[in-house]
Amino acid sequence: MKSSAADTLKQKIADRKLMVGVVGLGYVGLPLVREFCGAGIRVWGFDIDERKVRMLRAGQTYIEHLPGKFFQDLIRRRLFTPTADMDQLRRPDAILICVPTPLDKMREPDMSYIENTTLDIARRLRPGQLIVLESTTYPGTTREVCQPMLDATGLRLDRDYFLAFSPEREDPGRTDITTKRIPKVVGGVTPTSGKLAAAVYALALERVVPVSSADVAEACKIVENVYRCVNIALVNELKMLFDRMGIDVWEVIEAAKTKPFGFQAFYPGPGLGGHCIPIDPFYLSWKAREFNMTTRFIELAGEINTRMPEYVLGRVMAALNERGQSLKGSRVLVLGLAYKKDVDDVRESPAVTLIELLQKHGAAVDYHDPHIPTAKPMREHNITHMRSVPLTPASLRKYDCVLIATDHSRVDYQLVCDHARLIVDTRNACAAVKRPKAQIVKA
């Protein structure tokens, strides 16, 4: 190690005496709190949303699969301190940044959350602190955006403070692989920072994967999401083609995945959702312009995936037309508001886009989601006035069309198929239903 600050931090890690700070108590930050506290490490949790802090202290949850009572118990045991007071950023020895990285209206990176958080840390930065960015972003962000803001304090990298990147790899709602078991890629802006960051994560997680730099760690996460984005776009395009050919894409995929090598199954849907796949590839395509490169695969995949809600809308309109109805004036029930099954996460959910498109074309729209009783606030959408309606035989018969946008396990699809008049199924959710009475159109 190169400095006494590094030696001091290394000793705190070895003695398990360091304090960790997590900035952003959402789908990424809260699981990290859980794992570090579970390892006996004291954690300060920071969030600018005071409502979240109050809920955690009261034992309430705002993320379904992360129970509030669990974190209230950590607070009671003094292992976890949630706060909106950024002055407390002086306390932790290691600060993990888990804030959003959305796109702006021009589909370019919105770095304001990273910049504002780094500035908050810089104002309180003290010698001996390690800063780790976890927010998914383009390669070079930690070095080009965060480091200059921290250097402006007069403290020097490796002598006074340390800086690294470690990409989040959360899959909200997944129970078979927890945060503790997901291999943690870690890369430092310098070798010293990388070694210290790896040692911190090793306190709470089963496997740490060191890489040579923060840039490599940033690129690793982008590659993971580009891979999924491109393959999902491929099956979405094949879905549209096979539909015209009278071929069921779902049956094709089931047959193809019986091959024990050379094929991995990806599935079509009404569009991409979540914070990663719809957004992160565009960070790389944006950065590529600096190097006079055009990332054609990424941009084509993005074009296909972002137009899927329009394709689904067309299928709904065509299905209604076949029944002698127009979309304008029809009643439509959207099944599922979350971006994927069995979670309450609405970030970038195509279901929300579908609701807005249906309303724009004159439909009266309701939704049912067993995980989301009340529509959540979103940066680019405003449907917070909507509430989940009950799913009963009587309620289903009221709608001209039921649009399945998310295939939640808690939905009784036999009930839906027995009492709905028309179903447009974007997830193949009705495939296992026996003797459906409704007309089912796949989209």
Which residues carry out catalysis?
276
Give me the sheet containing 364-368, strands edge to edge. Answer: 364-368, 331-335, 401-404, 422-425, 439-442
* Tokens coding 204: 């709470």
Question: Mind giving me the DSSP string for 259-282?
Answer: SSSS-------SS--SSSTTTHHH
The distance from CA 221 to its chain's CA centroid, rounded to whole angstroms, is 13
Rounded Cα gap, residues 196 and 78, in angstroms: 25
Rounded Cα gap, residues 55 and 394, in angstroms: 36
Of 185, 182, 348, the C-alpha closest to 281 is 348
The torsion angles phi and psi of 351, rounded to 5 degrees, stand at -60, -40
Question: What is the 8-class DSSP label of residue 38?
Answer: H
CA distance readout (Å), 58 to 48, 73, 374:
17, 10, 20
Task: Indicate the angle between helix axes 29-38 and 68-76, nearest 10 degrees.
Answer: 50
**Residue tagged 């699809």 (tokens):** 413
Question: Mind giving me the DSSP string for 129-169?
Answer: -EEEE-S---TTHIIIIIHHHHHTTS--BTTTBEEEE----
Of 429, 427, 424, the C-alpha closest to 236 is 427
Rounded Cα gap, residues 103 and 110, in angstroms: 5
388 SS3 class: strand
Q: What is the 3-state secondary structure (H, E, C) of 56-112?
A: HHCCCCCCCCCCHHHHHHHHHCCCEEEECCHHHHHCCCEEEECCCCCECCCCCECCH
